[in-house]
Amino acid sequence: MRARMADIARQAQVSEATVSRVINDRPGVSTETRMAVLTALDVLGYERPERLRKRSAGLVGLVVPELENPIFPAFAQVIESTLAQQGYTPVLCTQSPGGVTEDEYVEMLLDRQVSGIVFVSSLSADTAADHERYRRLIARPLPIVLVNGYAVGLEAPFVSCDDRLAGDLAVSHLVALGHRRIGLISGPDRFVNTQRKLAGYRTAMKRELDIDDPDVALTLFGVEGGEVAADRLLALGATGIICGSDLMALGAIRAVRRRGLSVPRDVSVIGFDDSPLIAFTDPPLTTLRQPVASMAVAACRSLVDEINGHGAPHSEYLFRPELVVRESTAPRITAQVLS
């Protein structure tokens, strides 16, 4: 036994005392160290003690930023049902202000020995965040897939909506309706999706209207952020407003009405996501629809391939958004006549 303990300790690069604590399932050992010892047991061909045998092979973590934005429950629902069809049980982890953080959820999932993790709009999309947390997971190795969370340098499958195209499509739609003063509202520019929407928007504004420096208002995601940012754009004379989310668009509509104007008679508003129930707002919202079902299924297939050792491509799958035209946009000529 002593020889085996020494071999395991050497393989895991820990002390024999630590190996003993892990084998006897005693506290005082970090999750990372515990996994290193268990991996050493497997590599050296030793059978794990009964109490330590993996009972969670069918568990998969699903980490989403919050549930207030309806687009995240939409992703969660499709991912959960798709994983269930593949024989996996998803463990849903949702964050809230002042609550459990993404890193804390990951530690909990590692404790439960999940087979992999799907991240939706995670910290990987924040260029100011430390991406080493994901590199450590990949190095374990633990299969991960990142939905709308592209980050340079991470060797993992990414599934994203084409935000550049979304910004371009929105501008083209408003220009076709006769709008010339078109502003963009989105979240902080440290996020990759914001940067991409900005790039598509600016490219289209230059191409369609020969405008080099269009009106942009960056703010916090959500209804309140959209309302404040829209007020700034309206003060600059915007007749068309493109928003980085449907919730921001609802805030923009509120700002328009607070000025005694109406949508779409005076101002046209476009959202992004086409989250559930958004077709039933007043007015029904024109928006760029994320293909949630296709994206979620692709993410699950990539993760399952990784888990099964088939090696999904470590690249980004870009999905095309769809412009869904409803009643929050109208021709600018009509607006001038009616006003």
CATH of the domain at 27: 1.10.260.40
Asked whether residue 48 is assigned to any structural domain, the reply reads: yes
Asked whether residue 146 is assigned to any structural domain, the reply reads: no
Contact 182, 174 (CB under 8 A): yes
Q: How many CB atoms lie within 10 A of CB 237?
A: 10
Confidence (pTM): 0.81
From 52, 75, 92, the end of a domain falls on: 52
10 Å CB burial of residue 304 (0-12, 13-18, 19+) is buried
The rounded distance, in Å, linking the Cα atoms of 299 and 319 is 12
Asked whether residue 97 is assigned to any structural domain, the reply reads: no
From 31, 52, 73, the end of a domain falls on: 52
- How far apart, in Å, are the Cα atoms of 248 and each of 149, 216, 230? 20, 14, 9
Domain that holds residue 28: 2-52
Confidence at residue 234, expressed as pLDDT on a 0 to 100 scale: 98
Enumerate the β-bridge partners of residue 59: 89
Q: What is the pLDDT of residues 102-150, one digit of tens each?
A: 999 999 999 888 999 999 999 999 999 999 999 999 998 899 999 999 9
Confidence at residue 55, expressed as pLDDT on a 0 to 100 scale: 43
Shared domain check, 330 and 190:
yes
Shared domain check, 194 and 328:
yes
Asked whether residue 71 is assigned to any structural domain, the reply reads: no
3-state helix, strand, coil in the chain (%, to 5): 45, 15, 40
Shared domain check, 187 and 334:
yes
The CATH code of the domain that includes 262 is 3.40.50.2300
Number of domains, the chain = 2
Shared domain check, 168 and 35:
no
Q: Residue for token digits 């890193």?
A: 103
The rounded distance, in Å, linking the Cα atoms of 314 and 332 is 45
Confidence at residue 112, expressed as pLDDT on a 0 to 100 scale: 85
- How far apart, in Å, are the Cα atoms of 322 and each of 134, 273, 289? 31, 9, 5
Residues of the chain with pLDDT under 70: 1-3, 31, 50-57, 333-339
Asked whether residue 98 is assigned to any structural domain, the reply reads: no
Confidence at residue 23, expressed as pLDDT on a 0 to 100 scale: 84
Asked whether residue 222 is assigned to any structural domain, the reply reads: yes
Asked whether residue 133 is assigned to any structural domain, the reply reads: no
Asked whether residue 122 is assigned to any structural domain, the reply reads: no
DSSP 119-164: EES-GGGBTTS-THHHHHHHHTT--EEEES---TT--S-EEEE-HH
